[in-house]
Structures are given as C-alpha cells and as structure tokens.
Amino acid sequence: MAETKTFVTEEDGVVKVRTCAWSPPGDHPVGCGMFIHVKDGKIVKVEGDPDHPITQGRLCPRCIALDEVVYHKDRLLSPMVRKREDRGRDTWEKISWDEAYDILEEKIREIQKEYGAEAIFTLTGTGRESTLYAPVYGPAIMDTPNGASTYAFSGEACYGPRATISNYLLGAGVPEIDFAQFFPDRYDNPEFEVPKYIMVWGKDPLYSSPDGFFGHSIIDLMKRGSKIITVDPRLTWLGAHAEYHLQLRPGTDAAVGLGFLNVIIQEDLYDQEFVEKWCYGFEELAEACKPWTPERVKEVSWVEPDQLVGAARAFATNAPSTATWGVALDQSKQSTQGAQCFLAICAICGYLDVPGGVTITNPTSFIGQWRYDMGDTLSEGMDEKHIVDPTGKYALFNAGAAMGGVQGDTLLNWLEGMYKDDPSYYDLRMCWIIGNNPLACMADQPKRWYEAMKDLDFIVAQDIFMTPTIMALADLVLPLSTFAEHNGLVTPNYGRNQHFVGAMNTAVENPNTKSDLEILVDMGKRMRPELWEQFADVDDFFDQKLKENYGYGLEELREKSVIQPGYEYRKYEKGGFRPDGQPGFYTPTGLIELYSTVLESYGEKPVPYFEEPEYSPVSQAGAVADEYPLVYTTGGRHISMFHSEHRQIPSLRALHPDPLVTINPATAEKYGIQQGDWVRVTTPLGECTQKANLTNEVNEKTIHLEHAWWFPEQDGEAPNLYGVFDANPNNIMPHESVSVTGYGAPYKNGICRIERVSGLKGNGGEQ
C-alpha cells in the first residue's frame, strides 16, 4: 500500500487513523505515534507509527490493548447519579448528559450561594490528559481558588518539586536528556552529539515513560555508545547494564548528591569557566559538600565509595554527558534537596543546554500559558480565600511556583477540622474529582481521606471505569472518552520541555462519553460564559490557541501528526532564557543559583543539605527501629499498568496478576517466606499485604512495594470497596512528612517488618 501522510486512509474496508496517544486510558504525555485500525466503526488493531520521530513504531502493551479498554464490559458509558445516603452502594441510575449537567450546575450554584465558591475544591489525577485542563476547572468554571492542580497527595511530591526547583535554580522548564528529540532528523542532526554517560537517578523510564520522556530513547543512545550510571535502591534493567550502580538506602538521595558533588569539586573535575561565568554561589555549595566524603556517604546511604567516586569521575570527565531524574527525588521528606544536588551536578559539569547534555527550555508553551491565563480568572477577593495552613507553613508551596493549588496535607488537615478555630477557616462542601482515584493511588493514609470526604454535601467525579473512590464517595459520575474517541493534542513534559506537539485524532465515535476538555468547555459555557463563549467547541479552542502561539492551526497539526520546534543550544549566551533578551538565566541573580536566593527567602536553606527521613533506621534508632528492621521503598512501575488503572484489562492483568513485594532471597529465608507467599508489611502506621517476589533486585535491608492496587473483580460496595485498603502501601505512610517548602513525601522510604500470612487479608486466604 502506498504510504500516506494524511491522518485517515482506507483500504479494503479498514480505516487507519494516524494519531498520537495520551490518555485516558492512563499514561504520561509520551505521545507515542500509532495507527488505529477501524472496521465497521470498531477498533480492530493498533500498530506503531514507524514515521513518528520519537517512538518510531514502538508501543507498550497498554496501547496495544486499547481495544480491550474501549470495549470493556465495565466501561462507564452513561452519566450516573445516586442518592447521597447511598455512597458506597451500587445503586447508580443512568441519566442523560443534559440531566447530569443540570444537576451539576444546580449544585455548584447552590453551594456558591449558601457557602461561597471557596467551599468547593477539585482533586486532580497525575499525568493524564486532564493534567492540562483540570487546574482550570476550579477558577474558570466555579470561581473557587481551591481548584488548581491539587492531588490528595502528601507534599504534592510528583514532578512539582523538580519543576519548582528548576524554576528557581535555572529559571527554566524541567531538564531532560538530550536524545536529539527536537530535531526531525534526530541522531543524524549535525548539531547533536551522543552523550558519553547517561545518569539515571531515581527513575525507571523503560517501564514508566514519565512525563513524556520516551524511555526507550536510552536504548537508542546505548546502541550509539552511551554508558549508564544508575542511582536507585533497585537494580533495574538499566542498573544491570550500567557501568556504575549506586544502590542507595531509600531517602538518602541528597547525601549521595552531596558526596557526588564533593568528588567533582575536590578533584577539580568541574567546568571552571562555565561555573565562573554562569553560576552563583559555587563557594557556598563547595563548603556544604565538603563534609560528604565517600566514607561518610557510605555510612549514611550504603553506597560503596568505589561506585560513588568512579561514577562522579566518569560523569564529570566525559563531556558531554547527561542525566535524567525521577519521582524518587520528589518523594522524600527533603524533596527539593536531592533535586538541587542533581541540577548542581549537571550545571558545574557544564552540561546544561549543550549538545549531548541536558536540554532546558522556557516553559512558555501555549499549554502552560493558557493554564495560567485561565487560572487567573477568579472574581475579586477570591484569591485570598485560597486554603493555606494558617500557621504560615509551606510559604514556598503556596507561592505556586510550578504547580500551585492547595498543599495536600493542608487540605486533609482542613477537611478533618484541624484549623476550625482559625478565623480563616470555612467548611468545604463539594469536591470535583478529575481523573483521580485517591483511595487507591495518590493519598497517603487513604482511610483518613475516605472518612474526611464522606460528609461533603456533593461529590462529582469523571473517569472511564468505576473506581473505588467513585464507588465510595461520588454522587454523580461523568463517563470520559478514551484518547481514541476524541480530538486533542499531546505535549511532552506538559510544555516544560516540549520537544513536539502531537495530534490526537478521533478514531471511533462514542457519543455517550466526553473528554476532560469537552466537559470543561460545556460547563464553562453554563457557569462563566464570558470566559468560554469565545470557543465554539474543543477543536476551535485548539485551533485558536495553536494559531495564537505557534502560527499553525489544528488541521495543519493533524495532517502532519507531529510538529517539532527545533532547538537552539547555549541559549544562555544569546538571551534565550530571559524576557529582557540579555544573556544569562531568568533567576534573581541572572545566573544558575547553586545558592538559591529564592529558597532562602522562603525559609529553606539556600544550599543543599541532608536530613534523615522521619522513619529511618537512624532517626528511629532503638526500640522502634528494632521492631521495624527493614527499609521499604514503593511505587516502581510495571509496564502493563499506569498507577491504579488497567487492573480490569484481561491481557494486561495476565502480565501482572498480583501486587508484588520485592524481597531479597536471603531476607526472605530469614523470615520463612517463599516465592509467591502472601506477606504482610507493617509499619508503626499501618499494614498492607502483597505477594512475595524474591530477587536480588533489592539488597538484604530493603524491600519494594507496588502502589495503587485494587481489585475490580472483588465486591465494590463499602466496606470492601474492591479491596482498596488491603494491598495499598499508602496505608503505611505517615501524613505530613514534608519539608518546610511544603513539598516532599514519604512514599519512597520508611521502616517496616514483614511476615508470611495465609492470604491477601492475612486471615485465611481470601484473594
């Protein structure tokens, strides 16, 4: 068949729609290119698009199983409502979209009138397409300030800390590996150089493709000669292929980072010219690193000195090298400290914004700007009603540098009434849950969230499947379309390091469902027509925004499928980062702030430091640490699932049927545990149960727990709620284990004990 570049072709009764994937079903904005084959109006096959510049025909199992998702018997295909007193019971009644919108409008207006719009808040999910639109629901539909990108998530410790620290230290978007992603001719582009080393810190991108970084690009670079350094408590596939593997104690990233910097500084391996010209605070950074000898780093982090020193030397002396960072850096109590070290390493080695180094861009995509413009539409006086901790905690978070919203721990405290006596307090009455399943996935201590939200007057949620959270709490549910059923666009890194814009094209019609943006525009027109009447529909929205910002429209994007913006290296020499067009960086000092004047102004130390996690063998030394002798980390991804999604998809569940706790075989033997046994993991705060997977991936002192498990095959009604509280490691986390910034979370580190039990609930074998 002749190759075509248009996005819809037909042969022998099969229509092929060329598109770029996002979600739902869940994924980060990787935008993998694919052809969706449609026969008689139904998806019959999905195949990779070999002409997609980044993914080049490769797909993971989640998109290959798209038809199983779209036509699943449990798919939500109609808005549904139930009585408030029936929360937790399967008494849903199907209604039309008009009826659903009428109910929603009436409830919002009722609450606005009786209690003020601030009594409404939104909860947003992670990574999905809704990430772009959900922050606007609160301000631009309901006029509430409590509606930005708020997760039910301790310290909003996913991407936000890294994005924030990038804003403050570099005045730029989020750094990423240079894998020639901006150039249509990719690795053949004459400006590009293959990185000598790639350091992968707290991340497993082959499985997770986080934030739009296509993990298999690392394989492409390895084939071209790049060598690997990994920093991870787990020996991942990349770690097994690395020259250096720094197997740290979970939660000690900042100690390892300080030691890594110290080797580079003490041995004069850094780029002195770059540091002198473009960095601020090098002396103070060097002073902060000095105590962190390889021996001290080993004592704290368990990383072997030869691995630390070898990795630091190899990284610093092999220009250009590059690095990528993961959510593990966000998810310790310290949060921003590890990230600060990571950026300082890249900066002093001179690897920022150079070929084969680390790409950084202005976060000025239309997506980013549009969100801020529409988010800035509150009526007079509403901004002051934004929920913040009345004691003045978390000023940096509340300044909204990168993510904005209500700090997750503050929100739970507020819902539980902790601040009831403060003059700023008011009751929350309504919640809109947008692509989020907090009881399974995002919330630490999910039972507390459940209890705290149970008494709200009204809860609406939208998703493609029933979830434990919707069954437990919602009164109205809106069915979402999958990415195969609506138009949209995908922008990696949410626009903060946007190497392409891709078109998401409707392949099959599903008039019973709507996209997150359709719901936003529909409800916006009802509630605040002055903001939304300017857009005839979602296509018109995309068309206007693309033309305003890039000079091309939606149809051109759809025809081309992907448009890459190109990349200019060393923008700091040419004024490419600053609005005034001057050389340098868009920071208060105009330089990369190794000593952060912004952190200092918010009460955080300006140079990185290490602090023990709240629950660690050191901070709890003595009776508590003796009772809980192992360290846990959680949340490593499996390629067949995205957070709490995909548990009901047969082919994907077959790849990974059970929640797995990874245990070193020697540790398992000590506790009488064998492969496949059910294991209860207990901390001072709770317990969860998962199935033993014995492997040397972790050392003898560490275990790894999978997150976000629930069981769609189980009874959905309360109190079981699809078994959501049984295997969930968020049960065992402390609340509000965050830094003074308001960022940080304990998802990646804590102490525990393990024991063999007879079944999932540990009391007789039910599974």
Q: What is the β-pairing status of strands 244-246 and 227-231?
A: parallel
Residue among 59, 119, 557, 681 that touches ligand SF4 (CB under 6 A): 59
Q: Closest Cα to residue 47, out of 25, 28, 30, 32?
A: 32
Give the separation between CA 282 and CA 296, rounded to whole angstroms.
Answer: 22
Q: Which stretch binds ligand SF4 (CB under 6 A): 54-62, 83-91, 120-128, 620-628?
A: 54-62
Smallest gap from residue 563 Cβ to ligand SF4 (A): 18
Q: Which stretch binds ligand SF4 (CB under 6 A): 60-68, 367-375, 386-394, 422-430?
A: 60-68
Residue among 27, 593, 645, 658 that touches ligand SF4 (CB under 6 A): 27
Q: Which stretch binds ligand SF4 (CB under 6 A): 56-64, 222-230, 388-396, 444-452?
A: 56-64
Smallest gap from residue 60 Cβ to ligand SF4 (A): 3
Q: At what angle do helices 336-348 and 253-266 cross, to 10 degrees?
A: 20
Give the separation between CA 596 and CA 749, rounded to whole angstroms.
Answer: 26
Structural tokens at position 755? 């024991």
Smallest gap from residue 58 Cβ to ligand SF4 (A): 8
Handedness of CA 172, 164, 266, 323 (dihedral sign): negative
Structural tokens at position 760? 């999932």
Residue whose entry in the numeric block shows the structure tokens 């990284």? 315
Task: Say whether residue 30 binds ligand SF4 (CB under 6 A).
Answer: yes
- The burial class, CB within 10 Å (0-12 / 13-18 / 19+), for 589 is middle
In the complex with ligand SF4, the residue whose CB is nearer, 60 or 152, is 60
Task: Say whether residue 486 binds ligand SF4 (CB under 6 A).
Answer: no
Q: At what angle do helices 366-375 and 538-550 cross, to 10 degrees?
A: 120
Residue among 17, 36, 54, 60 that touches ligand SF4 (CB under 6 A): 60
Residue nearest ligand SF4, CB atom distance = 32
Smallest gap from residue 254 Cβ to ligand SF4 (A): 30
Task: Say whether residue 32 binds ligand SF4 (CB under 6 A).
Answer: yes
Query: What value, to the nearest 5°, has the Cα angle with vertex 524 and ends 383 and 541?
Result: 110
Ranges of H-type helices in 551-642: 554-560, 597-601, 623-627
In the complex with ligand SF4, the residue whose CB is nearer, 263 or 652, is 652
In the complex with ligand SF4, the residue whose CB is nearer, 528 or 638, is 638
In the complex with ligand SF4, the residue whose CB is nearer, 343 or 441, is 441
The residues with which 35 forms a beta bridge, in sequence order, are 18, 47
Q: What is the β-pairing status of strands 686-694 and 660-663?
A: parallel
DSSP annotation of 213 reads -
Smallest gap from residue 651 Cβ to ligand SF4 (A): 13
The residues with which 11 forms a beta bridge, in sequence order, are 14
Binding mask of the shown chain, residues 63 to 102, with x at each position contacting ligand SF4 by CB under 6 A: x---------------------------------------
In the complex with ligand SF4, the residue whose CB is nearer, 209 or 728, is 209
Give the separation between CA 589 and CA 600, rounded to whole angstroms.
Answer: 13
- How many residues lie near ligand SF4 (CB under 6 A)? 9
Q: What is the β-pairing status of strands 488-490 and 501-504?
A: antiparallel
Smallest gap from residue 524 Cβ to ligand SF4 (A): 28
Structural tokens at position 513? 């469902």
Structural tokens at position 123? 């909860």
In the complex with ligand SF4, the residue whose CB is nearer, 298 or 637, is 637
- The burial class, CB within 10 Å (0-12 / 13-18 / 19+), for 166 is buried
DSSP labels for 618-682? TTTTTHHHHHS-EEEEE----TT--TT--TT-HHHHHHS-S-EEEE-HHHHHHTT--TT-EEEEE
Binding mask of the shown chain, residues 399 to 428, with x at each position contacting ligand SF4 by CB under 6 A: ------------------------------
Smallest gap from residue 515 Cβ to ligand SF4 (A): 16
CB atoms inside a 10 Å sphere around CB 91: 13
Task: Say whether residue 261 binds ligand SF4 (CB under 6 A).
Answer: no
Q: Which stretch binds ligand SF4 (CB under 6 A): 55-63, 174-182, 506-514, 571-579?
A: 55-63
The residues with which 433 forms a beta bridge, in sequence order, are 123, 461
In the complex with ligand SF4, the residue whose CB is nearer, 44 or 618, is 44
Task: Say whether residue 680 binds ligand SF4 (CB under 6 A).
Answer: no
Q: Which stretch binds ligand SF4 (CB under 6 A): 4-12, 57-65, 297-305, 514-522?
A: 57-65
Task: Say whether residue 154 binds ligand SF4 (CB under 6 A).
Answer: no
In the complex with ligand SF4, the residue whose CB is nearer, 249 or 646, is 646
In the complex with ligand SF4, the residue whose CB is nearer, 231 or 441, is 441
Which residues neighbour 164 within 8 Å (Cβ) at sequence distance 6 or greater? 336, 396, 401, 402, 403, 741, 743
In the complex with ligand SF4, the residue whose CB is nearer, 46 or 80, is 46
Residue among 21, 288, 289, 508 that touches ligand SF4 (CB under 6 A): 21
Task: Say whether residue 209 binds ligand SF4 (CB under 6 A).
Answer: yes
In this structure, which amino acid lies at residue 321? S
Structural tokens at position 472? 């437990």
Residue 404 near residue 375, CB atoms below 8 Å = yes
In the complex with ligand SF4, the residue whose CB is nearer, 211 or 614, is 211
Task: Say whether residue 353 binds ligand SF4 (CB under 6 A).
Answer: no
Smallest gap from residue 639 Cβ to ligand SF4 (A): 8
In the complex with ligand SF4, the residue whose CB is nearer, 127 or 145, is 127
CB atoms inside a 10 Å sphere around CB 699: 18
Q: Which stretch binds ligand SF4 (CB under 6 A): 25-33, 263-271, 722-730, 736-744?
A: 25-33
Residue 526 near residue 140, CB atoms below 8 Å = no
In the complex with ligand SF4, the residue whose CB is nearer, 484 or 520, is 484
Task: Say whether residue 62 binds ligand SF4 (CB under 6 A).
Answer: yes
Give the separation between CA 37 and CA 47, rounded to whole angstroms.
Answer: 8
In the complex with ligand SF4, the residue whose CB is nearer, 207 or 432, is 207
Q: Closest Cα to residue 7, out of 492, 500, 502, 495?
A: 502
In the complex with ligand SF4, the residue whose CB is nearer, 55 or 334, is 55
Residue 167 near residue 160, CB atoms below 8 Å = no
In this structure, which amino acid lies at residue 67? D
Q: For the chain, give the number of residues.
A: 767
Smallest gap from residue 504 Cβ to ligand SF4 (A): 10
In the complex with ligand SF4, the residue whose CB is nearer, 47 or 717, is 47
Smallest gap from residue 281 Cβ to ligand SF4 (A): 38
Residues near ligand SF4 (CB under 6 A) are 21, 27, 30, 32, 59-60, 62-63, 209
